[in-house]
Structure 1
């Protein structure tokens, strides 16, 4: 019994000693104050991320640092017509390696693709995709006996990660080809589920 307890203690010490340490902070419209954190065993990389949301003429920027899983290290954007959210992420795997901020590297140049997007009245609206947005996206959830949907353009990397992290809240599907995300009329949309700070929150919490 003593041998078993000793083995368990050694294992616990080994696991703790090899846990990655990262800086953690969140800054909206300005720098964030860093503090050290110890990552969980499944979080094997440190991340530094810049998220930029554009709504009309208004642009907001959020800086996020923390621990995460390698598959969450994404660069790309989602354009829902009314608002566009772009993520620029750098990940590294050594202690406190995420001290530096990253610059927004997203492109707003049109790439010729079009997808449907939703407003409060209809999903017949069309939006021009930009940068690496090579897919059309559709997210649907059920709330109070009502189907709630968002549509727009998305980078493949964003499609992949959103289909994983948002699945608790909504079904997310992506397709290639102009206007491939259909044009069904609705009365409400999931705009708040695909914009920051929601995206960053579910990635790093």
Structure 2
């Protein structure tokens, strides 16, 4: 009798509603609209994200989008190599279709006060002034070429280094001016950007 009552109680429980979010991606519009997506149970947030990449102060790539998101991806990330800057904004909310507005543009920021080494040609002893929420210096190592990139990064980018190791190589962060002593740079912006774009946009 107990088991029958328990089974009946389970059957009468209301079905848990999953979150619904806008899903889209656009390189031309800051407020793209798209389909409505039903999120997986672990995707408890809707997000509006923006990926903006500068190369020598010119906009190299600017992509806006909306999607379901995991809470650990809700943050602003940035890495700054000097000539190349990558700013990732993933603004999140927790109600159905709450991600209707575009993510804010955080590419314009004031100096943070941190100074790090960056690479210029084959030398990695040039000074880079960090901006915005970039309070860490970092180095990334490519196991295949034994070369590195160096610059400034946000705390969230550094604390998620394990998730990003397969994408950007082994990343090492530190706090303190010039704590990332220099060596040879790694070549190829697209080799860094393409897998990172996939990781951020479609969690």
How many residues align? The count is 192
Unaligned residue ranges in structure 1 (runs of 5+): none
- CA-based RMSD of the aligned residues comes to 2.7
8 Å Cα contact 2:22/2:33 also seen in 1? no
8 Å Cα contact 2:57/2:83 also seen in 1? no
- Higher gyration radius (CA): 2
Name 2:199's counterpart in structure 1: 202
User: Deviations for 1:178-199, whole angstroms, at most 9, x for unmatched residues?
Assistant: 111111235x34744654x543
Pair 1:109-2:106 in alignment: no
TM-score computed with the length of structure 2 as normaliser = 0.80
Name 1:167's counterpart in structure 2: 165
Find the residue that maps to 1:178 and give its secondary structure: coil
Aligned partners of 1:133 and 1:167: how far apart in 2? 19
Aligned partners of 1:65 and 1:164: how far apart in 2? 25
User: Deviations for 1:45-67, whole angstroms, at most 9, x for unmatched residues?
Assistant: 11001222221241242102111
Describe how 1:1-205 pairs up with structure 2 within 5 A. 14=15, 17-31=16-30, 32-59=32-59, 60-143=61-144, 146-161=145-160, 163-169=161-167, 170-186=169-185, 188-189=186-187, 191-192=189-190, 194-195=192-193, 198-203=195-200, 204-205=202-203
Deviation at 1:110, TM superposition (A): 2.1
Unaligned residue ranges in structure 2 (runs of 5+): none
Find the residue that maps to 2:23 and give its secondary structure: strand
User: Deviations for 1:7-39, whole angstroms, at most 9, x for unmatched residues?
Assistant: 9x96xx94xx52222111111132434111122
TM-score computed with the length of structure 1 as normaliser = 0.80
Aligned partners of 1:191 and 1:112: how far apart in 2? 26
